Amino acid sequence: MKMRNLALALALLPLGAHAITYGVDDNGKHPFVGGLVGTFSSGTFPYCSGTLIAPTVFLTAAHCDIGQSRVYVGFEANLDVGSTVGNPVLHTGTYIANPAYTKSQNDPHDIAVVILDTPIADITPARLPTLNQFERIAHDQKFTVVGYGGQERVIDHSKPVINYLDNREYSVAEFNAVGPGYIRLSQNAATGDGGGCFGDSGGPNFFGAGDGETNIVAGTTITGDTQCVATNVIERMDTAAAREFLGNYVTLP
């Protein structure tokens, strides 16, 4: 079990990156979900999450930019992989952030892709939504949140810290509100919801849960409360702004 300094994660996000809280091990349920893996002063680990949406296209967030155009992506169930250099479980690619991204809160352009050097042949990509598919959402609609981020807080020397296992996990969150470019989900454990936290940024939130879960990426995790206990805010992938950028790299539904 790891307890990682949050400085990098906080630097990456408008309000902090996100990880899976009150979730369970993925156990191969979402093989198309991967992580961006980097080496930092505190070690090598997945700093953001994302989704394979075409054999050579990995969807993530623009605020996951660490200042390097060449990046590493992994799809293993656990991404505590040691060195990135020459690692056979990691895929190399070019990180491209939406040039319209302004780093402002609720910016509808907080989207990026990694164009992989080699197609991923053994994983079926997830799907994108149709235009304006989520303009209206039922009040009790569930979403499945997936990523490699931190888990629940624990108390260490009287201070709350986030645990990191670098595992792919998922949890279920309930719809709270929808805006022009985002969907707000509840991740309140008291109501049975889980959600994202530091490290899940850029990761997918799939429409539906349980028997009703789809492989449609309704949105990518972008922000939430810094304690990872109340809300998960996701960037909608069905908006004209999102599709304008993504259409440069994939065929849109």
For 13-59, how does the pLDDT look when each residue is reduced to its tens digit (9 = 90+)? Answer: 443 333 355 668 899 999 999 999 999 988 899 999 999 999 999 99
Cβ of 147: how many Cβ atoms within 10 Å? 38
Backbone angles phi, psi at 66, to 5 degrees: -110, 15
pLDDT bracket for residue 109 (50, 70, 90): very high
Rounded-to-integer distance, Cα 30 and Cα 129, Å: 17
pLDDT for 187 equals 72
Q: What is the pLDDT of residues 57-101, one digit of tens each?
A: 999 999 999 999 999 999 999 999 989 989 999 999 999 999 999
Rounded-to-integer distance, Cα 188 and Cα 213, Å: 20
Residues 172-181: what's their mean pLDDT?
Answer: 93
pLDDT for 9 equals 45
Which domains does the chain show, CATH number per domain? 1-253 (2.40.10.10)
Q: What is the pLDDT of residues 117-129, one digit of tens each?
A: 999 999 999 999 9
Q: Is the CB of residue 89 less than 8 Å from the CB of residue 122?
A: no
